[in-house]
Amino acid sequence: MMLRLFNIVLLLLIVVSALAVVYVKHENRMLYTQLRDLQKQRDLMDVDWGRLQLEQSTWATHSRVDNVARKKLAMRTLDYSEIVVVTP
């Protein structure tokens, strides 16, 4: 009787262990898939970030800023005769 109960308990433990292995393997696959998706998303964001940095450097070139200042804001370089120095 005791041996039979022991065998049943061992069988139940083996079944639970097998189910745990299946669950952990499935969870591992799901997490790996999620990791790959996040890595793809990161790579796309890196490409986008590089493009944005390039665009920012293009918009901030000295010649473009000078051109916008002269045309849109009507700014100009002062002559030395127009400069007034104020001393305290």
pLDDT of residue 78: 85
Among 73, 34, 16, smallest CA distance to 65 is for 73
Tokens of 48: 């986008």
pLDDT of residue 60: 87
Banded pLDDT at 81 (limits 50, 70, 90) = confident
pLDDT of residue 3: 93
- Residue 80 is classified by DSSP as G
Q: Give the Cα separation of 7 and 2 in Å (integer).
A: 9
pLDDT digits (tens, 9 = 90+) for 3-15: 999 999 999 999 9
pLDDT digits (tens, 9 = 90+) for 14-53: 999 999 999 999 999 999 999 999 999 999 999 999 999 9
- 9-16: Cβ within 8 A, 24+ apart: none
